[in-house]
Homo-oligomer: A and B are copies of this chain.
Amino acid sequence: MATIYGGVETGGTWCVCALGSGPGELLAEEQFPTASPPETLERIIDFFRAQPTPAAIGVGSFGPVDADPDSPSWGQVTTTPKPGWQRTAVASVIRDRLGVPVAFDTDVNAAALGEHRWGAGREVGSLCYLTVGTGIGAGLVIGGRPLRGLVHPEVGHLRIPHDRQRDPFPGSCPVHGDCWEGLAAGPALAARWNTRPEELPDDHPAWALEADYLAAGIVNIVLVVSPGRIIVGGGVLDHPPMIALTRRRVTELLAGYLETPLLGADIGSYIVPPALGDDAGVLGAIALARMLGSASSS
């Protein structure tokens, strides 16, 4: 029988726990709202206590996080604006209460790894997993591993052009105002147009402006890290016209400078939806746990 691993995705809104070895091989899965830290951690621990003990657990958390295994604050959520979650120990609590090894990374790095291992990025050497919803986040897999460095990717706060004449909305990021997520995440759309984004009709100018902003950030990701594929999801990008509009604007903005069909006629094969759907994060967390197993046995 395949070794059993645990996966936990603590997203900003939902928390997902799963036990198994990969897609189609889950023995149990549970989803609940991300509440206060003690309440959420208790439910995670309860989930695993009711199951056979996994060889390791992977945790993908909303960020910013400290994912440096050598840091004293490894496994914590750090400066998040999410109320009550600043400086919350997550990974060490799960490890200590359940007595199993725990791997820890951002939720989007986990999702990127899941899509790379089992989903829409199986054939590419590097990929970016981008989600645009209540915030904007991206995970990167390079050389088969989630990218960490000084910290980890935190693309929501990219600086992009903001044409204040066309769009006088000042931006909704509490820290940076008109950074990428301040202009283009769901709350920015809602505040700018004073309605729930899903109620804006497809021909509303909101969507063309949104595509301009999303394309500017995606172009920046392409120009810095040149991922082999970009996998895009989240509530805003799931809105029907958005992927097509965004692809077109990315091509227009790059203006043929990088000479590859994947940034021109074939951009539909470059900017693609996830294959694992809502399970990308928790499956990626299982992939993180599997990687921990193979790293410690090597």
| A residues neighboring B (CB under 8 Å) | 64, 78-79, 125-126, 138, 140, 142-143, 145, 147-162, 175-176, 178, 216, 219-229, 253-260, 262-263, 270
Partner of A224, one of B125, B143, B221: B221
User: In the complex the two chains form, is B79's CB within 8 Å of A256's CB?
Assistant: yes
Contacts of A224 in B (CB 8 A): 138, 140, 153, 155, 158, 220-221, 224-225
**Chain B min CB distance to A50 (Å):** 36
Chain B residues contacting A125 (CB-CB under 8 Å) are 149
Extra A-B contacts (8), CB below 8 Å, given A175-B256, A176-B257:
A64-B259, A149-B225, A151-B258, A153-B225, A154-B226, A155-B224, A176-B253, A221-B224
A-B pairs with beta carbons under 8 Å apart, 12 shown: A150-B222, A150-B260, A150-B270, A154-B223, A157-B254, A158-B224, A159-B160, A175-B255, A175-B257, A176-B253, A220-B220, A224-B225
B155 and A260: CB pair below 8 A? no
State A223–B147 Cα separation when bound (angstroms): 12
Provide the residues of chain B in CB contact with A148, threshold 8 Å.
Answer: 226
Closest to A162 in B: B161
How many copies of this protein are present in the complex?
2
Q: Which single residue of chain B is at the shortest CB-CB distance from A63? A: B258
Contact indicator B227/A150 (Cβ below 8 Å): yes
Determine the residue in chain B with the shortest Cβ distance to A258: B151
The CA-CA distance from A10 to B147 in the complex, in Å, is: 30
Which of the residues B157, B159, B222, B258 comes within 8 Å of A79, measured between beta carbons? B258
Are A225 and B140 in contact, with the CB atoms below 8 A? yes
Instruction: Report yes or no: A262 in contact with B150, Cβ–Cβ below 8 A.
Output: yes
Determine the chain B residues whose CB is within 8 A of the CB of A157 once the complex forms: 219, 223, 254, 257
Q: Which chain B residues border A257 with CB–CB below 8 Å?
A: 64, 79, 154, 157, 175-176
On whether the beta carbons of B151 and A142 are closer than 8 Å, the reply is no
Contact A227 B159 (CB under 8 A): no
Contacts of A155 in B (CB 8 A): 223-224
Name the distance in Å between A159's Cβ and chain B's nearest Cβ: 5
Closest Cβ of chain B: how far from A227's Cβ, in Å? 5
The 8 closest A-B pairs by CB, nearest first: A149-B226, A224-B224, A159-B216, A126-B149, A79-B259, A150-B226, A151-B226, A154-B223
Provide the bound-state CA to CA distance between A263 and B151, in Å: 10
